[in-house]
Amino acid sequence: MRVILSGGGTGGHIYPALALAEVIKQHDPEAEFLYVGSERGVEANIVPPTGMAFKQLKVQGFSRSLSLENIQTVRLFLKAVKQSKKIIKAFKPDIVVGTGGYVAGAVVYAAQRMAIPTVIHEQNSVAGVTNKFLARGATKIGVAFTVAKAQFPAGKAVLVGNPRAQQVAQIKSTFSWQTLGLRDDKPTLLIFGGSQGAPAINLAVIEAMNAFNQRAYQVVIVTGPKRYDNVRRLLQEQGIAPADNVRILPYIDNMPEVLAQTAAIVSRAGATSIAEITALGIPSILIPSLHVTGDHQTKNAQSLVDAGAALIVPEPALDGDTLVAAADQLLLDATLSDKMAAQATKVGMPDAGDRLYQLLLSAIAEKKD
């Protein structure tokens, strides 16, 4: 199988594509891949180290206000479509897969115009602009949330989950909290605001520090690399020092292994986070970001809350008291925590990559017919 993958802008679009590639390789060791990303997205830092062939296109998003920049956006899109056709003609893929981002719009649209099978994957509960644009011409559509199916042409979308879930579920963790000077026989709460950190979560942590210092459970706070020094400075100014049961880190580079040893997590509600949390059956306190399209993180989080797998704390209500109260619910009530872990596992789809792979095969077969 020859596959072109395209998704860009954020890790939420890139990691599912790379996870899918791993699954395809498991089924078809001879499979060949080409990843087409944007010039400005983080994919340029993420994809090449995997060894996958990688090409870049220049694209940009639309401005929500009337702007001359939108004329340039259209010009870049049309140019990217033309370049994509050349890339596709040279690579000769059996299928083209788009996982979101403006660059995927150009690549998948070009494939559709060339009558090549295409599959798009929507990771969030609210469909992105690119996937809505591509939906009509897509051969098949995979979604990670049931609620997203209704946002696509009737009968076209299939619930497959997020391939990142299968990738995480297959990791055999040997991580020990002892590497951080903590204990493996105590429940540990991981507070993680994303790879860059979340200021609102960090401020709530500072307010909660005195309370966390007195808890029997352990707390690991990941501030984000650029926000670590500021958190440390604010704590010092208030005369607060983390106790022996608390650790503050700028970043964790082996997150899936750490998650496997985590009793509960405080997190944003992005698609990748939800996939990882449910794949591992981790009870969670979700704090949806206010700065995302269509408020999709709130809808992502609500799907877990409705299933009894998570608690939600809206960002406007987040402070030290609400954070500690939610943490105590999960870490001090073993019955509730176990119930939520079980429900999270039910929501998770540890075979999501296999499901999406089967959808690809179906799309290829449909085009042949």
The reply to whether 262 and 322 lie within a common domain is yes
Q: Is residue 172 one of the residues assigned to a domain?
A: no
Q: Please indicate if the annotation marks 197 as binding a ligand.
A: no
Point out the residues of the chain with pLDDT beneath 50: none
CA-CA distance, 178 to 281, in Å (whole number)? 22
The reply to whether 148 and 47 lie within a common domain is yes
The reply to whether 136 and 181 lie within a common domain is no
Q: Is residue 52 one of the residues assigned to a domain?
A: yes
What the block records as the tokens of 209 is 């520090």
Output the pLDDT for position 11. Answer: 85
Which residue, 264, 346, 276, is CA-closest to 307? 346
Q: Please indicate if the annotation marks 364 as binding a ligand.
A: no
The reply to whether 112 and 202 lie within a common domain is no
First to last CA, the chain: 17
The reply to whether 206 and 285 lie within a common domain is yes
Output the pLDDT for position 65. Answer: 61
Q: Please indicate if the annotation marks 116 as binding a ligand.
A: no
The tally of domains found in the chain comes to 2
Average pLDDT, the chain: 94
Domain with residue 236: its CATH number is: 3.40.50.2000
**How many alpha carbons fall within 13 Å on the CB side of residue 282?**
30
Output the pLDDT for position 138. Answer: 97
Segment 85-135, tens digit of pLDDT: 999 999 999 999 999 999 999 999 999 999 999 999 999 999 988 999 999
Q: Is residue 232 one of the residues assigned to a domain?
A: yes
Which residue, 334, 328, 299, 329, is CA-closest to 314? 299
Segment 64-79, tens digit of pLDDT: 666 677 778 889 999 9
Q: Strand pairing of 2-6 and 95-98? A: parallel
Q: Please indicate if the annotation marks 195 as binding a ligand.
A: yes
Domain with 284, as residue range(s), is 177-347
Q: Please indicate if the annotation marks 252 as binding a ligand.
A: yes
The reply to whether 244 and 335 lie within a common domain is yes
Q: Is residue 96 one of the residues assigned to a domain?
A: yes
Neighbours of 90 (CB within 10 A): 9
Q: Is residue 170 one of the residues assigned to a domain?
A: no
Q: Please indicate if the annotation marks 124 as binding a ligand.
A: yes
Q: Please indicate if the annotation marks 37 as binding a ligand.
A: no
Output the pLDDT for position 367. Answer: 78
Segment 147-157, tens digit of pLDDT: 999 999 998 99
What the block records as the tokens of 50 is 């995997």
**Cβ burial 333-358 (10 Å sphere, 16+ → b, else e):** eeeebeebbebbbebbbbbbbbbbbb
Q: Where are the beta strands (DSSP E) in 18-159?
A: 32-38, 53-57, 95-98, 118-122, 140-143, 157-159
